[in-house]
Structure 1
Amino acid sequence: MKKIFTAFSLIGALLLTGCHSNTLDPEKVEQLLQEAKAYPKIVDYNVFCGDDVTVQKVQTNGLEKDGYVTAQVDHTSADIGQPLVRFTEKSTPYFLPTSDTAKSINVQKVKLADERLLAIDKITINAEGTRALVEYTTTMENLTPFVVMLDQEMKTKQTRETYFAKTDAGWEWEKKIIKTNGRKERE
């Protein structure tokens, strides 16, 4: 009788351990997002160097005054197709790989910040236990001088949502991030 009780206890413990490892908790969410290389990630911006609006932005926001760019305010029809904003050596640490197509139309991709996962705020699993909505917070770190190019101030903390699906192999990330700061927008 004692052997049967011990055997059932052992089987029960194994079942509980097996079920527990298949739950979606904050640690598992972080692990899955890191394995998918979702975070940390670089937040970038495309600088349209042949655009009058960009010339005004770099001047208004002090990038020219601070020595990151030079801006050609006065130009003629001969300048069409030429960059009106030129980067200085001081700005090169913030350059990101830019496609040849983008370069051909005077676009340079620059780094704005690093976005890192800060906290898992809430995990909501559907009634069937097959899908989960995860709400979490990220933080923006290492802001660069080019963050001033945004039309609005970059919040240092961002709220995000994403979904996970339970499969035979366990929980899997659906690889869609939803920005939820005031509105939902797929990333």
Structure 2
Amino acid sequence: MQQEIIEISQYQSGSASFSRLVISLPKMSPYDWCEVVVGYPGMPNVKQKMLVGDAVLYETTEDGILEVRTTAVHGTAAQFAISQVSPRFGLGAALATNDPSNLPFTEAERDRIAESIAAVKTELTASGRHSEEQLLLIYRKLDEVHAASGRLGRKDWLNYVAGSLTGLCVSAAFAPEVTRGFFQAVNSAFSWLFANAPVLLQWTSVA
């Protein structure tokens, strides 16, 4: 596992030598907390207020899942430990098809997908199986799944979801029971859509 500790001054940005992940420090309170923006080229930023010891998990396209942990806040600078939690396994890529039945989702279906994702988030929060950092990582992935439903056809989207969520659990090294519970929650919330998609019914066997 690669790890590096860097110090960043307020109003500046920094990154580890082994990754293109960028950490910016737009606001902070001396000796207390700092507001951190974590980003990666071509991907959305994550903004979070952090105390010493707090961590953010961020999934990148090239470096796998990285953890940014605040190790010190002093004066006008803060210190961060950047660790590669796991390398990327490449399971999140969408598969393009020319199948004529690969139709786009309707607006009503996309609204229902959003409702199903909200149900998954609620169930995962209530389960108490995940840390706060894991939940935030999962929530961002679920938001990406919803966004993909607006640009991919049905079959491409199903392939994307299966690979993306499976890759997330493998890369983040979730415990078997946590992975199983996650997929059960997803299958339950999306039963209206997955009923005719046998490939997705195999998710519970991942753990």
TM-score range, shorter chain: under 0.3
Please identify which structure carries the higher helix content. Answer: 2
Structure index of larger Rg: 1
Please identify which structure carries the higher strand content. Answer: 1
